[in-house]
Amino acid sequence: MPKPHAETESRIMDLAENMIRRNGYNGFSFREIAAGVGVKSSSVHYYFPTKADLGACVARRYTDRFLDALGDPEDSSEDAQHLVSKLHGEFARALSSDGQMCLCGVLAAEVTGLPETVAEEAKGFFDRTDAWLQKGLKKTAWGGRLSAEEIERQSLAVLAQLEGGMLIARVQDRPALFDLLKPQLSDK
């Protein structure tokens, strides 16, 4: 049974994640979080002294969960396109669960107005996801034919296509559109 403090902290982070994904980093306040969780605003400050602390923790947790769901690319013997499809599937799962954007994609769009700690955690999502994909791609026959620079370029292109696909699907209010926008690796 989870401890009450851990449960409250988790509920605060869950609500903050939902609000950021829906309204952006500046689209929520501690007062709204407190009301949504059913605690006093001072209780939110107990767990997260500042909004930046909360935003950074939420982004780090989101990244950790995302990468945990992908698993270790070293453990897979999949072909390159299957790795891209696996990554697409995690983005699709996030979009289909509530029709909202990737948390770190939202934060990336707001990066110039974010506290440094939050911006760093958002950047960390892309760095770590890119590293996951590159590591997996290098193990494939497809990756064995390419230079490290080309694998990096292709990996970043896949991430850009996934985030852009989410944006288009969301703005058009057509989450199913995202499934049609699966990135394809180039044979260069």
36: in domain: no
The residue type found at 19 is: M
Residue 30 lies in a domain: no
Asked if the structure places residue 33 within a domain, the reply is no
Examine the pLDDT at 98 and tell me if it is beyond 90: no
If you average pLDDT over every residue of the chain, what do you get? 92
Percent of the chain with pLDDT over 90: 78
Q: Considering the domain boundaries, does residue 19 fall inside one? A: no
Report residue 18's pLDDT band, with 50, 70 and 90 as the boundaries.
Answer: very high
When pLDDT is cut at 50, 70 and 90, the band that residue 187 belongs to is confident
25 near 13, Cβ under 8 Å?
A: no
Residue at 67 is within a domain: yes
pLDDT digits (tens, 9 = 90+) for 28-74: 999 999 999 999 999 999 999 999 999 999 999 999 999 999 998 87
Looking at the 3D structure of the chain, how many domains does it have? 1
pLDDT value of residue 4: 60
Does residue 43 sit within a domain? no
Indicate whether 144 pLDDT > 60.
Answer: yes
Please say whether the beta carbons of 140 and 83 come within 8 A: yes
CATH number of domain containing 91 = 1.10.357.10
Domain assignment of residue 170, yes or no: yes
Asked whether residue 143 carries a pLDDT value surpassing 70, the answer given is yes
In a domain, 8, yes or no: no
Tell me which residue range forms the domain holding 121.
55-180
Does the pLDDT at position 1 exceed 60?
no
Instruction: Tell me the mean pLDDT in the region 104-118.
Output: 97
